[in-house]
Amino acid sequence: MKPDLVSIEPLRPQSMAELAETFTVHALPADRSRWVEAVAPVAERVRFVQTTGFSGCPSDLMRALPNLEIVGVMGVGVDAVDLAQARARGIAVTNTPDVLNDDVADLGIALLLMTARHLALSDRYVRDGRWKRLGNQALATKVSGKRLGIVGMGRIGKVVARRAAAFDMDISYHARNAADVPYRHMPDLVAMARTVDFMIVIVPGGPGTKGLIGAEVIAALGPQGILVNVSRGSVVDEPALVEALVSGRLGGAGLDVFADEPNVPEALLGLDNVVLAPHVGSGTNETRGAMADLVVNNLRAHLSGEKLLTPVG
């Protein structure tokens, strides 16, 4: 018999078909409150879980699977997986780093350009006839040659910096430790916010970064500053961000992630200085395909007793 695998959130159809060749796949319902109940009939047999960074693998579900051996996550972030329980029980966790670096970095720069140049507003300005009725749109903010602060200088942060360098930007970064990069390391996040025009946030989620971008940082960025978040919604103090944008104490924001997805604060929806995206940092056919392949290959490697391709430390 094929080993049993629980699929918390499905991959693309092609990848699910590949999993079905190797595993007996048990798909969970969309309602999270029913997950433990749904796995009960097969719980003793399940050794494999396939999930995404958004859905993760919560504590109660992991406890309900006494023989679980591996959780394969499609995504870089694993903050929605109970890593403490995984370590205590010797459960392997894999993710999909590197293959999405380009797309997330591209989106970060795109959100910066769209926010600074008012491109989402420009699109609406043309579509609803304001150009004809009102004439030229108000002037926007230049991006090239400006000062950029990057929060996080990991794999994706380094790609963001390379993109920004092509725009002749002066680059600073905040991280716990200095990285081997030719950019200015600033251990004091508030101090960095005071000295840059724009800030792009790309750090992991989880307790260690919750609320990292708080009211003080936002205030330091100021009424001309722009904040872009392509990391996790939990990293930014969302009420403080909303208040600053509504009051004009922050110049603008490009947001791909939110604290309670897919719920977006109502106050943001009517603001012309905000560009909103539905958590699509890695959302291209090419990258999602590569991510799904990596999940499948990690799960198959574990089944075969081979070395995992991308284990989470």
The span from the CA of 75 to the CA of 294, in Å, is 10
Q: What is the mean pLDDT of residues 220-242?
A: 98
SS3 252: strand
Residue 42 DSSP one-character state: G
Cα–Cα distance measured from residue 251 to residue 224, given in angstroms and rounded to the nearest whole number: 4
Q: In 3-state terms, what secondary structure has residue 143? A: coil
Query: What are the φ and ψ backbone dihedral angles of 183, each rounded to 5 degrees?
Result: -120, 165
Contact 219, 171 (CB under 8 A): no
- pLDDT value at residue 81: 97
Q: Is 12 a catalytic residue?
A: no
User: In this predicted model, what pLDDT tens digit does every residue of 210-227 receive, in sequence order?
Assistant: 999 999 999 999 999 999
Q: Which residues pair with 252 in a beta bridge?
A: 226
Catalytic residue among 163, 174, 232, 288: 232
| CA proximity to 151, closest of 232, 71, 36 | 232
Please state the rounded mean pLDDT for residues 113-128: 98
pLDDT band, residue 80 (cuts 50/70/90): very high
Query: Residue 181: pLDDT band by 50, 70, 90 thresholds?
Result: very high
Mean pLDDT over 235-242 rounds to: 98
CATH number of 4-99+286-304: 3.40.50.720
Q: Residues near 189 by Cβ (< 8 Å), separated by ≥ 6?
A: 151, 174, 212, 217
Q: What percent of the chain has pLDDT over 90?
A: 99
Rounded mean pLDDT of the chain? 97
pTM of structure: 0.94
Active site residue 279: yes
Q: How far, in Å, are 55, 139, 200, 309 from residue 227 at the CA level?
A: 26, 19, 6, 34
pLDDT digits (tens, 9 = 90+) for 121-177: 999 999 999 999 999 999 999 999 999 999 999 999 999 999 999 999 999 999 999
Read off φ and ψ for residue 180, nearest 5 degrees. -85, 70
Catalytic position from the list 89, 184, 185, 279: 279
Choosing from 44, 216, 261, 306, the catalytic residue is 261
Residue 50: the pLDDT is: 98
| pLDDT score at 29 | 96
Instruction: Report pLDDT for 203.
Output: 97
pLDDT at 313: 82
- pLDDT at position 41 is 97
Give the mean model confidence (pLDDT) for residues 92-119.
98
- Domain span(s) for CATH 3.40.50.720 in the chain: 4-99+286-304, 101-276
Write the pLDDT tens digit of every residue in 182-199: 999 999 999 999 999 999
Average pLDDT of span 1-9: 97
The answer regarding whether domain 101-276 maps to CATH 3.40.50.720 reads yes
Distance between CA atoms of residues 58 and 44, nearest Å: 17
Length reported for the chain:
313
Neighbour count for residue 273 (Cβ, 10 Å): 19
Bridge partner list, 171: 148
Tens digits of residue pLDDT in 29-79: 999 999 999 999 999 999 999 999 999 999 999 999 999 999 999 999 999
